[in-house]
Amino acid sequence: MGDEKQSLESFWMPFTGNRAFKKNPRLVARSKGMFYYTPDGREILDMVAGLWCCAAGHGHPRIVEAIQAQAAEMYYAPPFGWGHPAAFEIAETLAKLTPEGMNHVFFTNSGSESVDTALKIALAYQKERGQPSRTRLIGRERGYHGVGFGGISVGGIPYNRKQFSNSMIPGVDHLPHTHLLDRNAYSRGLPEHGVELADELERILILHDPSNVAAVIVEPIAGSAGVLVPPKGYLKRLREICDKHDILLIFDEVITGFGRLGANFAAQAFDVIPDMITSAKGLTSGTVPMGAVFMRDEIYNEFMSKPGAAIEFFHGYTYSAHPLAVAACKAAQQVYADEGLFQRAADMAPVFEDALHSMKGEPNVIDIRNYGLMGAVEFAPIEGQPGARGAAHIQACFEAGLMVRVTGDTIAFSPPLILEESHIQQAVETFRTVLRA
Ligand code: PXG
């Protein structure tokens, strides 16, 4: 950029206070490894993997080369009624990472599309198997499932729903969230208290009768709401209740999938196997937009078992299994495997945990929580101005050379899986300095 100030007016930025941003922009122009660089070359340590997505860090040469090569070879192929070999190959590779018996995948372009796709598969599946009364969906307070109408309906973030309250999909209920600050503050890993919150599912089912419920969807660890780690035993209890009543359980693993918790998926980290897994972000290490819904074989087979050769599921996207996304996905997955990044996440998790918890006692800190390479520090809000302290911290971090994520008065950390101890120390020192300023 030259001296002339570029106008920022035309771009309506997503999930951003546009007026505040445009007065005081935070711009990044280049990235490599663990770092972003501002247009004037200032280094910013990326402790949130872009937006929870760049698991292999930035500018990984193998992924860059794969995308470049695919662009030259064939940058688009129609996915309806046509296919390209690499899409089938990557589907098979990915299925090997999922829990046993989940050998089928539907490709989308984002987490939001993955969620709405999974909800539609759930509803269609119940009809296909002769249970058409099962139409209700159950999400959870403080859940984030993207911004489609399905996703905001099962989601539990009040701001995301407020402007659309009359336009939600019908027949949705919500479990209570699991953030028990008074009982679980400063938990390391899974909190001790709150397994009984899963029993609320039984209450909801009694109200509607289980025979009317299609699916329950939760994030194994709620990300956007500020890293809410499930209480010990909570997810297992949800699984048991869903099994008892023949209801599908969907894990939204858009953030937790692909190594963030030190395992392929949260399903394996927590040893609770859902019926479907939604994913995006780490699928391609955030390089090319792509999402995927994995499902148990019974679900796929139900659709395929009918006579005839008609379209089984009236759903799909122009860019499902886009060749560039497939190439990026294949390369990212190879990098994860060859560099042992999921194991690396597991190995770094204790160091990350100790570093994060060393913030206890810093000004206004009221909670610290973590699992794998996800963590959060929560601050007491400034009276009458919820979110103001979080926003101030994020700006100060940017000025001090640190990228983290804010949600309300919680600062979230979700670094690339390539990070080293030195990055953790640098992040913590910068953060501490910001808090004490
Ligand atoms: N489900 C989950 C669990 C997510 O975290 C989505 C669905 C939607 O994905 P797309 O690709 O449609 O954005 C997400 C996305 C934040 C933040 O501030 C989190 C997400 C996206 C943007 C910001 O924490 N997660």
Pairing of β 35-37 and β 104-108: unpaired
**pTM exceeds 0.85:** yes
Ligand 1 center–CA 313 separation, angstroms:
25
How far, in whole angstroms, is CA 100 from its chain's centroid? 22
Q: Report residues whose beta carbon is within 6 angstroms of any ligand 1 atom.
A: 51-52, 110-112, 115, 144-146, 219, 223-224, 252, 254-255, 280, 405, 407
Mutate to test the pocket of ligand 1, among 224, 404, 407, 413 (most ligand atoms within 8 A of CB): 224
Pairing of β 213-218 and β 172-175: unpaired
Q: Which atom of ligand 1 is nearest to the CA of 115?
A: 7
Q: Which atom of ligand 1 is nearest to the CA of 281?
A: 11
Q: Whose CA is nearest to atom 16 of ligand 1?
A: 224
Ligand 1 center–CA 253 separation, angstroms:
10
Q: How many CB atoms lie within 10 A of CB 172?
A: 17
C-beta separation of 70 from 332 below 8 A = no
Ligand 1 center–CA 147 separation, angstroms:
8
pLDDT string in tens for the chain (437-residue length): 445 567 999 999 999 999 999 999 999 999 999 999 999 999 999 999 999 999 999 999 999 999 999 999 999 999 999 999 999 999 999 999 999 999 999 999 999 999 999 999 999 999 999 999 999 999 999 999 999 999 999 999 999 999 999 999 999 999 999 999 999 999 999 999 999 999 999 999 999 999 999 999 999 999 999 999 999 999 999 999 999 999 999 999 999 999 999 999 999 999 999 999 999 999 999 999 999 999 999 999 999 998 999 999 999 999 999 999 999 999 999 999 999 999 999 999 999 999 999 999 999 999 999 999 999 999 999 999 999 999 999 999 999 999 999 999 999 999 999 999 999 999 999 999 999 99
Ligand 1 center–CA 281 separation, angstroms:
8
Contacting residues for 341 by C-beta, under 8 A, at least 6 apart = 55, 56, 259, 335, 417, 418
Radius of gyration for the alpha carbons in the chain, expressed in angstroms and rounded: 22
